[in-house]
Structure 1
C-alpha cells in the first residue's frame, strides 16, 4: 500500500505481489488507479481470510486425541453448554484450569436451588483482579459513630455503607474495571438503586448495600434476599451489619448457608484487596496472588486508601486514557470513511476468487469463524503502603 501512495494508473498492477494466484480472473486489473486499489484490497481480504482459517484449524493439527479436541471445542467454540449445578461443582477445578469462560447463565427451576448454588457461576471463572475473593460478605462498622439514619419517615440511609460503596467502585475503576460492568444496588431509595427495581436485571459485578443496622426492615422477606443474591455474574460484595442479618429468624437458613460457604473458604468479614493487580487478570479463581494483600478495616480506611491510590496513579491513568482515546478516534475515522463507487468491481473479484477456491477444493460448506476475545492490559505504577 505504501508503494501505491501516489495515484498513478497501472501502478497497482505493477506492485501487487499475488497476481499469479488470481490468474484465472482475467483481467484482474483494469488500469484505473481507484478501481485497481479496490480490487487489490478485495484480493488481500480473501488471502487474509485463508490464513485466518489456517490459524483456526491449527489446533486440530496439534491436538491428536478426542478428549483434547473436545475440551478445545468446549472452551473456544461451543455457543451453548448445559450441565447441572452438581456437575458444575464437581468439575469446577477442571473447568477453571481449561480457562472456561461464559457470557450468560440460565438456571432452570431456579426457585428450587439453594442460595449458595447461585454462587457456583462466580467460581467458574478467573479471579477478580484486585480482590482476594470473587464474593465476600463485608461487615461495615459505624461511620463517625452512626449506622443507619432516618431523615424522614420510611426513608433510610447509611452514610458509612454509601461512602464504602463509592470508594469500592472508585477502586475498581482505577485498576481498570469498565464502569458499565459495575452496579451498586441497595434495599432503600435513600441509597442508590433498590433491589426491587433491579429485579430481572444483572451485571458482572454487584456492590450490595443492605443499609439497616438497628432493624431488618422489609428485607426480612426472603424473596428480596434471593433477588439481591442472584444479580451478580462475576463478582459480588455485600456491605452490611453482619450480626444483625445473621440473627434474623426468617433469613437464618439463607445466611447460614452463605456463612458456611464463607467459613469453608476462610473469608474474613473485612474486605481484602490486591491493589498491585490490574484488570483483567489471568489468575485462576481460588489461586493465591503474588501481590500484597491489604485488609480494609472500615469506611475511613477504604476512603483514605482509595484517595491516596488515585493520586499515586493519576499520571498512568492519564496516559492510558490518552491511548484509549487515540484508539477510539482511529476506529471512528475508519468507520466514517466515505463509501467508494467501485463496490461492484470489488464484489466481482471476491466472487471469482471464491469460485476458484471452490473448484479446487470441492469441499463442503465451511464453518463459521471462531471469534477470540482480545484484552488490553493496564499497568499501575505505585501502591500506597498500609
Structure 2
C-alpha cells in the first residue's frame, strides 16, 4: 500500500510496528493517495443486507473515469447486495464489470492499484464496527483508494471506526462527485 496509508494503518492498528516498503514506487508525496467522495445517499434495506443507490451511481462515474484513463481498479463493499447492484450497473453502462466487484470478505488477500470502496451506510456503523474487517478493506490498494460515503454520516459516526480515523488522518480528503473528473489520482 502507499506509504501514507501504511503509516496510518501502522499507528492505528499495529501500534507503529508495521513498516512500509522503502522501495514502494510511490514515495512520500503531497498528492493524497486516499480520497473520500461525499455522496448524500441513504442506505436501503435489501433482503438481509443493505444497498445505497446514490453511491452506486457515483461509483459508476468514477469507474468510467478510471477505465478511460486505463487505471487498474477493483470495487469493494461490505455488502453483497451493494456488490451485485454495482456489478449490474457497470454491465448496463458497458463499463468493464467482470472481475471488478467484490465484498470485503471475498477480496481478503488480494490487491489492486486502485481500490474504490462503497461504505453503503448512512446510519449506524454496522460492518464499520469491526476493526479487523476495516483493516482488510483499507489495506488492499497499491497506489490509491477512493471511499464513497457521506460527510453527514462520517461527522456523526466516524469517530467510532477505523475509516473515520483515516479521514481525520487525511484532513483534506473530501471531494464532491462533480470534482472526480478533475481530481488527480496518483
Pair 1:182 & 2:73 matched: yes
Residues 1:276 and 1:213: Cα distance change in structure 2 (over 3 Å): closer
Aligned to 1:35: none
Is the contact made by 1:216 and 1:245 (CA closer than 8 Å) also made in structure 2? no
Cα offset, 1:224, TM superposition: 1.1
Deviations 1:320-349 (Å, cap 9, x if unpaired)?
xxxxxxxxxxxxxxxxxxxxxxxxxxxxxx
Q: Paired residue for 1:172?
A: 66
- 2:37 aligned counterpart, secondary structure: strand
Partner of 2:106: helix, strand, or coil?
A: coil
User: 2:148 pairs with 223, 239, 256, which one?
Assistant: 239
Q: Which has the higher contact order (CA 8 A, sep 6+)?
A: 2
Counting only pairs closer than 5 Å after superposition, residues 165-314 of structure 1 correspond to structure 2 as 165-177=59-71, 181-192=72-83, 193-246=102-155, 247-248=157-158, 250-251=160-161, 254-255=162-163, 257-263=165-171, 266-270=172-176, 272-273=179-180, 275=182
Contact 1:123-1:134 at 8 Å conserved across structures? no
Q: 1:258 to 1:167 in 2, by over 3 A?
A: same
Match of 2:14 among 97, 112, 115: 112
Report the CA distance between 1:136 and its aligned residue. Answer: 0.5
TM-score between both structures, scaled by the size of structure 2: 0.67
Greater strand proportion:
2
Q: CA deviation at 1:168?
A: 0.5
Contact 1:207 1:237 in 2 (8 A): yes
Q: Is contact 2:158-2:165 (8 Å) kept?
A: no
Q: CA RMSD in A?
A: 3.8
2:173, 2:124 → 1: CA distance?
25
Q: 1:122 to 1:226 in 2, by over 3 A?
A: farther
Q: Compute the displacement of 1:245 (Å).
A: 4.0
Higher CA-based Rg: 1
- 1:159 matched to 2:29? The reply is no
Matches within 5 A, 1:330-369: none
Q: Distance in 2 between the 1:267 and 1:248 partners?
A: 14
Does 2:30 match 1:139?
Answer: no
Tell me: CA distance 1:218–1:273, structure 2 relative to 1, closer, same or farther (3 Å).
closer
SS at match of 1:212: coil
1:19-38 aligned within 5 A: none
- In structure 2, relative to structure 1, the CA distance for the partners of 1:113 and 1:168 (3 Å cut) is farther
Change in CA separation of 1:274 and 1:240 when aligned onto 2, cut-off 3 Å: closer
| Distance in 2, Cα, partners of 1:150 & 1:122 | 41
* In 2, Cα distance between equivalents of 1:275 and 1:167: 12
Give the unaligned 5+ runs of structure 2.
84-101
1: distance between equivalents of 2:116 and 2:182? 18
Structure 1: how far apart are the matches of 2:158 and 2:176? 21
Offset of residue 166 of structure 1: 1.6
CA distance in 1, matches of 2:64, 2:136: 25
Aligned length: 158
Structure 1, gaps ≥5 residues long:
1-84, 90-106, 280-284, 286-386
When residues 241 and 122 of structure 1 are mapped into structure 2, their CA distance, relative to the original with a 3 A threshold, is farther
SS of the aligned residue for 1:223 comes to helix
TM-score scaled to structure 1, two decimals?
0.35
User: Cα–Cα, structure 1 residues 258 and 187, in superposed 2: closer, same or farther, change >3 Å?
Assistant: same
